[in-house]
Amino acid sequence: MLSPAETDALLLSLRISAVAVSCALPVAIVLASLLAHRRFPGKAIIDGALHLPMVLPPVVVGYLLLIVLGTRAPVGAWLLEHLGIRFAFSWTGAALASAIITFPFQFRAIRLSIEAIDSGIADAAKTLGAGAFDRFINLTLPLALPGVIAGAITAFAACLGEFGAIITFVSNIPGETRTLPLAIYSALQSPGGEAEAARLSLLSIALALIGVTLAEFADRRIRVFAGR
């Protein structure tokens, strides 16, 4: 059984992950569709920048967010003063950090799925008078659905394990930014907290395993449904 504090950490992790994936998914779909088959100067640089959070230390991402969106940073101070929006030391900031860190998981999966689509299908639809938006909605997006679903589930599972960017940007505040990984860290820093850390670690492992399994299952089912 989980204590109230542990339950809060679990629910907060699920909430942050859901918001992060939901906000990043439309952006990932649009950018993946734009970069999948088009060639233009600087494409390699843009592609590298979109994958950068995958290889950067999460602490670096958190630090960059802090110096840009902190309450005393230019952008963060303006948002707080004029719009009442505060990301630093808030669960919304944790969701933003998680969305950035896990964005490449969604972007890469969706892009690879779009690139695997036979370009002749879109060409045939174009000759029949289908516009770019119609081809995207009725052809590209349904055929790329395995990558969309798998990328979203994988990103969700990765969000549940995000630590470095969150603790750097929004700190470790109980009930506000203390997610499962941060709760494990706090338990390890407390005398006699080894049992709590072990319990939360097992829960994190179970959630990660469920996420990866669901991503693989969804990918296979959708491919069978689509006849691919």
Tens of pLDDT, residue by residue over 19-53, are 999 999 999 999 999 898 778 888 889 999 999 99
- State how far the Cα of 220 lies from the Cα of 99, in Å rounded to an integer: 25
To the nearest whole percent, how much of the chain has pLDDT over 90?
A: 61
Q: How many domains does the chain have?
A: 1
- State how far the Cα of 223 lies from the Cα of 106, in Å rounded to an integer: 17
Residue located via tokens 């006849």: 227
According to the model, what pLDDT value does residue 16 have? 96
Q: What average pLDDT does this structure show over 116-134?
A: 76
What residues make up the domain containing 112? 4-226
According to the model, what pLDDT value does residue 225 have? 57
Residue 226 has pLDDT above 60, yes or no: no
Residue 115 pLDDT level (bands cut at 50, 70, 90) = confident
Residue 217 has pLDDT above 90, yes or no: no
Across 13-27, 117-131, 190-204, least confident range: 117-131
CATH of the domain at 141: 1.10.3720.10
Residue 223 has pLDDT above 80, yes or no: no
Return the half-sphere exposure (C-beta side, CA atoms, 13 A cut-off) of residue 33.
19
Residues 6+ apart with CB under 8 A from 186: 172, 178, 193
Residue 15 has pLDDT above 90, yes or no: yes
Read off the pLDDT of residues 65-102 as tens digits, 9 standing for 90 and up. Answer: 999 999 899 899 999 999 999 999 999 999 999 999 99
